[in-house]
Structure 1
């Protein structure tokens, strides 16, 4: 396997996990929170997709799927939010506000995944050292950003899968 194939496989695993989690869930189940401050499946999936979309678009200097393919507007019909919001730092009320059908969550993830696969298709080991964010010390390289996003996505996908197991039928 080369670098691009490893990255594509990793991001593909996020999609597979989320698809299994979302399968057959209704809005009540998607927004169920076992405690008042817990995240819901809907929030976790929306957030992990927003972070992947936002961070990879910035790293590769392309537009986000969220705005270019109309997802900001579609999600805006489900809950009130700023289209630049990724969910980072959301409080309990903001988490509770995230409501969307499984089909929309899955469609958005699929579109982001398609862009991700295209963006990483030509990434080589040498590309991983390119600095993509100088706001940090040390500056963030493409390799660090890709692993960070993949780690965050898989962690949230696992949390959503866990919630799926305890959500009332």
Structure 2
């Protein structure tokens, strides 16, 4: 197995988990905040999509799907255009609202851009430095693995929240 095939499989598992989590979810469950202050499913799925979109687009030299495919306007959130949810206050978390169909449509578009990019990668590409703000500088491989880890954590949290009873 080539490294890009492994990465495609990992990102594909995120896509499957997002779709499974959003299946049969009603509006009340979508916005319910576990224990009253936890992050709701709608925010978690939106955020993980934004994280993958921003991180992969930056590393690939592409525009974020959020902007290039008009999702920023379709979601119409009271947030900055490139906001990914990092450091959101409770009020900002509550401001993220969207139906499950739109969340899945956005994530699917992000996943397609990610998969298209991963198809082009060879093993040597993973050593390319994509962020010099860290010591040591971040390689493409490290950035992709950290994105996978973050997205899997958030989709796991969303799946857990889906299973909670009020």
Q: When the two structures are superposed, what TM-score results if normalisation uses the length of structure 1?
A: 0.95
Bigger mean CA offset, 92-101 vs 44-53: 92-101
Give ranges in structure 1 of 5+ residues lacking alignment.
none
Give ranges in structure 2 of 5+ residues lacking alignment.
none
Inter-CA distance 131–62: structure 2 relative to 1 (3 Å threshold): same
What's the counterpart of residue 6 of structure 1? Answer: 6
Q: Secondary structure at the match of 2:130?
A: strand
Matched, 1:69 2:66: no
Q: CA–CA distance in 1 between the matches of 2:72 and 2:36?
A: 26
Structure 1 vs Structure 2 CA RMSD: 1.0
What's the counterpart of residue 38 of structure 1? Answer: 38
Equivalent of residue 114 in structure 1, options 98, 104, 112:
112
Q: Secondary structure at the match of 1:132?
A: strand
CA drift at 1:36? 3.2
Q: Secondary structure at the match of 2:25?
A: coil
Matched, 1:24 2:15: no
Contact 1:32 1:167 in 2 (8 A): no
What's the counterpart of residue 133 of structure 1? Answer: 131
Bigger mean CA offset, 132-141 vs 145-154: 132-141
CA drift at 1:37? 2.3
Equivalent of residue 147 in structure 1, options 145, 148, 154:
145
